[in-house]
Amino acid sequence: MSDDLDIRSGGLVAVDPESLRAAAERYERAGGDLARIEDLVRSVVMLLGGIAPVASSGFVPDSGYTASALANRTDAASAAARSLAERLRFAAAVYEIVELRTTAGFDGSAGAARQAEISARISALSGAYPWAGALATMREGGWRVAWPIDLAVQGIGAWPVHALAGGAPFMPAATLALGLGVAAAGAGTIPSGARLTPASTHARVTALAPPAPAAAPASLAEVAARIPGGSSSARVRVERYTMADGSRQFAVYVAGTQAIAAGSRDPFDMTSNVELYTGKESASYEATVKALQRAGAEPGDVVHAFGHSQGAMITAHLALEGGYDTSTLVSFGSPVEADVGAETLSVSLRHTDDPVAFLEGGGNPQGVGGPGSFVAERLADPALGPHDVTLPAHGIAGYTETARMLDASADPRMAPVRELFDQLGAAASVDVVEYSATRVATGFSASGGGEG
């Protein structure tokens, strides 16, 4: 496992320019304080120069030279602090230009007035820092080319398997080409106004025996551990929180792909993957919506959505069009990234060597979601070998480990996540139910018997 965890605001926009400017101001103040200290020390040097005979007699040995050296060091520290402040301001200009350019190209709803405002701001920054625009361009180009590299390298490890089909020599190059194509087409990003087209198949959900624990998760690792799937027949888990004031909140955990075959009885299959990725409503999406409804969630209720792989595609669309107040969206290894609004805390965990997360195409170049939203990435399985064909970087176990690393991180962007767990942990009561899901023929209508 790699311990290098990269936490940033978005795919390309990694640093908040205002945080750099704030740091620059602190260094500028420190430089000014040091300059004033230097003036005081210089005054001491002059004073000591006036009593040189006393110093030479041995009463104040070498003090003039010591004070002068201190003044010189203070002057150097002051200059270094001011120089660092200027470099931070330059870096802020570069990052802001990147952010403005991605906003201009990404937000089609900005309108002519906003586009003109963006253009004027970029011109002002470029005028103040002539090289900032060129460095911003280099950063943009580097991100677009570099993000698929880790997966292409991992493809080398699967050569012994792919060589049987004669495709090994071309695999890394093909991976890079595919990744750049996905990014160029924007296939892995979902605009805020996107809506799924009607389903061609439907789903039935069945409540299972109440699982344990009936308590709020205390960490991202616990969230990952609660995502259904594997040996369990559960596909969707819903937790209903009754708060101390009588209000309700819900948490939904949605499984990833469980059946490789297309058109299986399990709606969490490859058919649903293709449908969701191409903008069609899947039976697995319908199953998730029905599970929330069966658990008592109503339009406008607060929902915290957690999903892995296909489940993350489902929760992304749920946040955009489900009709709930989706205040939290956490995805593990999602093949898409949704442009959720400022009311949603968006946290995306993805591995750079995960071929499913690779389908995001690098995600949105700028950050999505509300304040505190972030993307956390790492290389999960750096060892090369035939085992790479089993996609070790995509499994929920690897993402649970990444979640543990985030839980232990001192990064301030984890504060809203911890606040969420504290909030849910204060609930007066918690009710939990899990649901299995079955694909049914078109035209099926929900009936009694505890199914829907």
Report pLDDT digits (tens) over 169-214: 444 444 445 555 555 555 788 999 999 998 778 999 999 988 877 8
Q: Is the CB of residue 336 less than 8 Å from the CB of residue 285?
A: no
What is the distance of C-alpha 316 from the center of its chain? 13
pLDDT at residue 451 greater than cutoff 60: no
pLDDT tens digits for range 140-174? 655 555 555 555 555 554 444 444 444 444 444 44
How much of the chain exceeds pLDDT 90, in percent?
42
Distances (CA, A) of 159 to 144, 220, 363, 382, 395: 26, 35, 28, 15, 21
Q: Which two tokens stand for residue 309?
A: 């792989």
- 236 within 8 A of 306, measured Cβ to Cβ: no
* Choice among 250-264, 363-377, 409-423 with the minimum mean pLDDT: 363-377
Q: How far is CA 293 from CA 160, 169, 209, 211, in A?
A: 48, 50, 18, 18
* pLDDT of the residue at 58: 47
Predicted confidence (pLDDT) at residue 32 exceeds the cutoff of 50: yes
Name the average pLDDT for the chain: 81
pTM, rounded to two decimals:
0.73
| In the predicted structure, residue 137 carries a pLDDT above the cut 80 | no
Residue 47 buriedness (CB in 10 A; 0-12 / 13-18 / 19+): exposed
CA 194-200-205 angle, 5° bins? 95
Q: Give the burial class of 262: count Cβ atoms within 10 A of its Cβ; 0-12 exposed, 13-18 middle, 19 or more buried.
A: exposed
The amino acid at 370: G
Higher pLDDT: 167 or 438? It is 438
**pLDDT confidence of residue 19:** 77
**Residue 267 per-residue DSSP state:** S
Of the candidates 424, 438, 440, which has an alpha carbon nearest to the alpha carbon of residue 207? 438
Question: In the structure encoding, which two tokens stand for residue 101, read together?
Answer: 């350019």
Q: In which order are the strands placed within the sheet that holds 374-378?
A: 6-8, 374-378, 345-351, 325-332, 302-308, 248-254, 236-242, 429-440, 202-207
Q: What is the mean pLDDT of residues 43-71?
A: 62
* Most confidently predicted of 19-33, 257-271, 405-419: 405-419
pLDDT, one tens digit per residue, over 322-369 is 999 999 999 999 999 999 999 999 999 999 888 888 888 777 777 789
Residue located via tokens 């955009």 = 320
Note the pLDDT tens digit of each residue in 239-293. Answer: 999 999 999 999 999 999 999 887 789 999 999 999 999 999 999 999 999 999 9
